[in-house]
Amino acid sequence: MDTATTTTDLKARLKTALAAFGIAAAEKEGGLSGQAEKILAKWWLGSRKVSYRMSCRFDEAARTAHFREVVIEKSSGMPPPTLSVEVTTTSGWQRSGSRTDTSPAGGGKVDYGEVRNAVERAVKDAGWTFDFEGGRMP
């Protein structure tokens, strides 16, 4: 465990971890925020889009990273017919599992816990405390 990790070092570690999931993290108000489109199904009558959004703010004095996440689904017009398979487990505010959408017009997969788990691992490996703020929008 590296106890000398600064906020700047931790941000760099988290950006690397988030990039592995297709999330380009940007610095925002002293923290990090990012978004990735995980599921997309479009046709000429409409579309369905599922995005993953996260944010992480840092308290260097307490050496704590406060993490928030949300999965947002948006539809427009008449979305294409889609087969969705969702397996989830909810414990308090934490949701784990995955959702897979298949459609002739597209699809994709979102895993509800993989990013949170990777960020938590990176934060703890850096010697910081991970605080998941469930129920709050990033």
pLDDT tens per residue across all 138 residues of the chain:
445 589 999 999 999 999 999 999 999 988 999 999 999 999 999 999 999 999 999 999 999 999 999 999 999 999 999 999 999 998 888 888 999 999 999 999 999 899 999 999 999 999 999 999 988 888
Indicate whether 138 belongs to any domain: no
- Main-chain phi, psi angles of 76, to 5 degrees: -140, 145
Indicate whether 1 belongs to any domain: no
Indicate whether 34 belongs to any domain: yes
Question: Looking at the 3D structure of the chain, how many domains does it have?
Answer: 1
pLDDT of residue 136: 83
Indicate whether 69 belongs to any domain: yes
In order of 42, 75, 77, 108, 109, the CA distances from 37 in angstroms are 13, 13, 19, 9, 10
pLDDT of residue 33: 96
pLDDT of residue 137: 85
For 107: left if phi > 0, alpha if psi spans -120 to 50, otherwise beta; the answer is left
Residues whose CB falls within 8 Å of the CB of residue 37, separated by 6 or more in sequence, listed in order: 49, 50, 51
Indicate whether 35 belongs to any domain: yes
Domain coverage including residue 19: 7-132
Round to whole Å and give the CA distance between 58 and 4: 15
Indicate whether 137 belongs to any domain: no
Indicate whether 95 belongs to any domain: yes
Q: What is the pTM of this model?
A: 0.88
Indicate whether 47 belongs to any domain: yes
pLDDT of residue 4: 58
